[in-house]
Amino acid sequence: MSTNQNQADTATMPDPQEIAQTYADVARRSSKLLTEHVQRQMQKGIKTCDDELGLAQAFMDMTSKLLANPMRLAQAQWSLAWDYFSLWQNSMQRFMGLAPAPIATPAKDDKRFRDDAWQDHFLFDFIKQSYLIAARHVHDTVAGVEGLDENTQKKVNFFTRQYVDALSPSNFVLTNPEVMRTTVQSHGQNLVKGFNNLLRDIEDGDGQLRIRMTDTDAFELGKNVGTTPGKVVFQNDLIQLLQYTPTTAKVYKRPLMIVPPWINKYYILDLREKNSFVKWSVDQGHTVFVISWVNPDARLAEKQFEDYLQEGVIDAVDAVCKQTGASEINAVGYCLGGTLLSAAAAYMAAKKDKRIASTTFLTTLTDFSEPGELGVFIDEDQVTNLERKMSERGYLEGSEMANTFNMLRANDLIWSFVVNNYLLGKNPFPFDLLYWNSDATRMPAKMHSFYLRNMYMRNALREPGGITLLGTPIDLSKIKVPAYFISTKEDHIAPWKTTYLGTQLLGGPVRFVLGGSGHIAGIVNPPVANKYGFWVNDAGKLPPSPDDWLTSATQHEGSWWTDWNAWLVAQDDSQVPARNPSAGTLPVLDEAPGSYVKLRLDKTVR
């Protein structure tokens, strides 16, 4: 063998010192985790396996219905066999050098099979198509079972998809060409590093696997996320109120108050300067206030939904008006924050309090009749089990709710990181959006129980007087002020056709806009990006059916932000000298982003 070849082989060999360090980390973490696991099991004792999701009964019902129709089952089996026969013929043609059209192809947005080998290599193409055929037939067979009630059918469909996604050949070493190639090139060090990453994530989760989605060391609040200058001007048990420093000589007379969801941190609207809704709104001449929710612990276990109404929205409105001297404000609510804002606006309307002069609802459900796939997790048995768990500690862990949301897009938010972190042995890429996505908050037990039962299960908010808050029946039809709804076409958390139903509940003029993309990307869509576009009904029609609305809607290029700002300014374009946070009547308590947003009591950021 030549000297050059020996040098090349030596250059590709792993660094012995790095190997030794990795093995030492694996040994240390393994020993520590095993010891902690044994200690936890000794403390907890042996527990029976609970079927909290009701999956056993759901799949037993599905199986009995499926077997009750043997003719349909036989047809499904014959169809599957025929597709496999076609695939075999297709593969033989490829083996002989022909180029037949594939029997099964992944969806355009399916990122699992992007590596060229999935198409170019005979064997991996066969594995891919074989999986896609099986996946399609399993889905079709399960979804086609007749006689199941709607909730059982949705549950079976959803968890069948989870099972099928988990078995994708992209998730295994020997059937993923990229992982195989990396394993050979690195002499298996990717698997050793991946195992070390797995142990690290179990360690960070105190014995539970919490997949790290991003490089958390790359971000620091106030440094490169949540950087818009401002001050904390009010604080109570539940919120800190941030007021942002103006960038224009004059500002609109009505301040703008934003109510974010309390399940995540507010800075989704202030990630980076170039995509910050907060910064952009300040630059348009608005005096912007944002509620920053606390990350509650057991001390706040007794806080209820109406406490979030009073100490969250109402107290914030009081503080904004006191700080600025304004008698009217514009209010924006995002997701759960929008649901709370609708309740607050209805409460204030019932009290003849006219300080909220307009409302904006970002991907907000006020009618929960069709909550999408989240409904799979919400029924009497599951909520009762959840209430039992919450009562033991006084709150719901943010990570538990985050796992539920991640399951809605398992291939993107679970399995892609399993492959990257554990099979390829890579560290996750620094991504501000995923840093925020991992930064969930806890929810007090009583508040969350009220929300699940009265919104999702009873759908009581849509009914006049369906719920009573602070001693006042809530009637959304009493909201007479102008309202702006922005929903997104691909939203998997708040389906746009359901958010649209909220336009029928309010008593004032409503503008509904449909944006492109999903729950986050469709909202955090700055004009400079010029992406996705949006649909509006220029005639201002709001028919009862969302499909009828879309039929007569027209698509526009760019971001909905500019449309919203034009609508908002049209309500009242009077201006006053810029309001500096330090010059108001409230004392400055801290610099933005404040301290509440930095509380990570359950190690949620990972």
CA dihedral (82, 87, 93, 96) positive or negative: negative
| 49 part of the active site | no
Closest CA to 260 of 209, 219, 294, 216: 294
Closest CA to 408 of 214, 209, 600, 157: 157
Closest CA to 293 of 361, 344, 340: 340
Closest CA to 336 of 356, 308, 377, 376: 308
3-state secondary structure at position 176? coil
Q: Which two tokens stand for residue 104?
A: 């099964």
Question: Most distant CA pair in the chain: distance in Å?
Answer: 91
DSSP structure string for 239-289: EEEEEEPP-SSEEESS-EEEE--SSB-GGGGSSSGGG-HHHHHHHTT--EE
Exposed/middle/buried for residue 305 (C-beta within 10 Å: 0-12, 13-18, 19+): buried
CB crowding 173-201: b at 16 or more within 10 Å, else e: bebbbbbbebbeebeebbbbbbbbbbbbb
Q: Which two tokens stand for residue 275?
A: 């995509």
| Contacts with 99 (C-beta within 8 Å, 6 or more apart), sequence order | none
Measured between alpha carbons, how far is 147 from 100 in angstroms, rounded to an integer?
A: 40
Q: Which two tokens stand for residue 69?
A: 């129709």
Measured between alpha carbons, how far is 333 from 322 in angstroms, rounded to an integer?
A: 21
CB crowding 527-564: b at 16 or more within 10 Å, else e: eeeebbbbbbbeeeebeeebeebbeebeeeebbbbebb
3-state secondary structure at position 553? coil
Q: Active-site residue among 335, 407, 524, 597?
A: 335
User: Which residues are catalytically annotated?
Assistant: 335
